[in-house]
């Protein structure tokens, strides 16, 4: 027997279509999440205890190098950018390597003359920071001295250890910016300005490696905040002023 039209209803069929649509939408969302996972923050954290920043005239062609030695005799500069816990981020050549090539092939000059070195851990003893005028390049005809500003910053906890300006008058000039002593807890206990030249000096017991290489760290010294035993001063060590703490 045929049902009468007034008793017919499409409600069940509409509910079925609605449920199917919700199912497809849910599966689409799940698939989209699996294809594009939620981005996570970088899990690698760069650790450093001290940062040394050297800057000079941004438009100068002078090539000035940041050099540093640590308590166990490691020496870091542009030929040997990593040694022990010392790390030189970049060898800045002055204005000559300030030009970058953009995606469209055009070039842009970023006027910034800066070298940054980090100490990625604590070895108690004395650290020495030097500035060295390697080359005057295109500015050689003009000549003349140049001022270089160097900051030493403690990162954990944050604090400014030293900010100093030295003048490099000639090609090959080298000045000691600061010598500071760190105790086993990582705090600076003393500072002085005794001059010691070591730019380009060979590593103890070997030769400097290329910029891609590194020098193994020697055993740490004994005692708290003292220099390594047997570390004799260079022949050209001088005392600037009283040589005391600033």
Tell me how far the alpha carbon of residue 46 is from its chain's centroid: 9
Question: CA-CA distance, 222 to 229, in Å (whole number)?
Answer: 8
Q: Which of 210, 201, 142 lies closest to 171, judged by CA?
A: 142
What mean pLDDT do residues 165-194 have? 95
b vs e for 64-78, b when ≥16 Cβ sit within 10 Å of the residue's Cβ? bbbbbbbbbbbbbbb
State the pLDDT at residue 10. Answer: 66
Say if pTM beats, i.e. exceeds, 0.75: no
Pairing of strands 86-88, 114-119: antiparallel
Nearest 10 degrees: Cα torsion 149, 236, 187, 132: 30
Instruction: Give domain limits for the chain.
Output: 50-192
- What token pair was written down for 137? 């390049």
Please say if the pLDDT value at position 221 is more than 80.
no
State the pLDDT at residue 102. Answer: 77
- What token pair was written down for 133? 């005028």
What mean pLDDT do residues 204-233 have? 36
CATH H superfamily, domain 50-192: sav2460 like domains (2.60.60.30)
DSSP string, 44-104: -----SEEEEEEE-TT---EEEEEEE-TTS-EEBTTB-EETTEEE-----GGGG-EEE-TT
Q: Name beta bridge partners: 101.
A: 107
User: What does each C-alpha distance from 57 to 31, 94, 118 come to in angstroms?
Assistant: 55, 9, 22
- 22-31, 32-41, 236-245: the lowest-pLDDT one: 236-245
Contact 92, 187 (CB under 8 A): no
Residues in the chain: 246
pLDDT one-digit tens code per residue, 50-86: 999 999 998 888 999 999 999 999 999 988 889 999 9
- What token pair was written down for 59? 């438009």
Question: CA-CA distance, 92 to 231, in Å (whole number)?
Answer: 30
Q: Is 214 exposed, middle or buried (0-12, 13-18, 19+ CB in 10 A)?
A: middle
State the pLDDT at residue 39. Answer: 56
- What token pair was written down for 210? 């290329």
User: Who has greater pLDDT, 110 or 85?
Assistant: 85
Question: CA-CA distance, 54 to 127, in Å (whole number)?
Answer: 16
């Amino acid at each position: 027997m045929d049902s009468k039209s007034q008793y017919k209803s499409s409600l069940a069929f509409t509910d079925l279509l609605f449920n199917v649509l919700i199912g497809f939408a849910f599966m689409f969302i799940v698939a989209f999440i699996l294809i594009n996972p939620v981005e996570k923050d970088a899990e690698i954290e760069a650790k450093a205890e001290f940062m040394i920043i050297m800057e000079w005239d941004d438009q100068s062609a002078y090539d000035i190098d940041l050099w540093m030695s640590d308590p166990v005799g490691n020496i870091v500069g542009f030929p040997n950018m990593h040694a022990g816990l010392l790390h030189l981020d970049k060898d800045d050549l002055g204005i000559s390597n300030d030009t970058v090539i953009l995606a469209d092939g055009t070039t842009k000059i970023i006027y910034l003359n800066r070298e940054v070195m980090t100490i990625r851990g604590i070895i108690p003893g004395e650290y020495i920071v030097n500035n060295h005028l390697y080359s005057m390049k295109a500015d050689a005809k003009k000549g003349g001295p140049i001022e270089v500003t160097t900051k030493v910053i403690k990162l954990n906890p944050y604090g400014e250890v030293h900010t100093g300006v030295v003048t490099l008058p000639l090609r090959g000039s080298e000045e000691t910016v600061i010598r500071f002593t760190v105790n086993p807890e990582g705090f600076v206990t003393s500072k002085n300005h005794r001059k010691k030249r070591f730019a380009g000096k060979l590593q103890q017991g070997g030769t400097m490696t290329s910029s891609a290489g590194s020098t193994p760290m020697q055993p740490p010294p004994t005692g708290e905040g003292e220099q390594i035993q047997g570390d004799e001063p260079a022949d050209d060590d001088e005392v600037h002023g009283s040589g005391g703490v600033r």
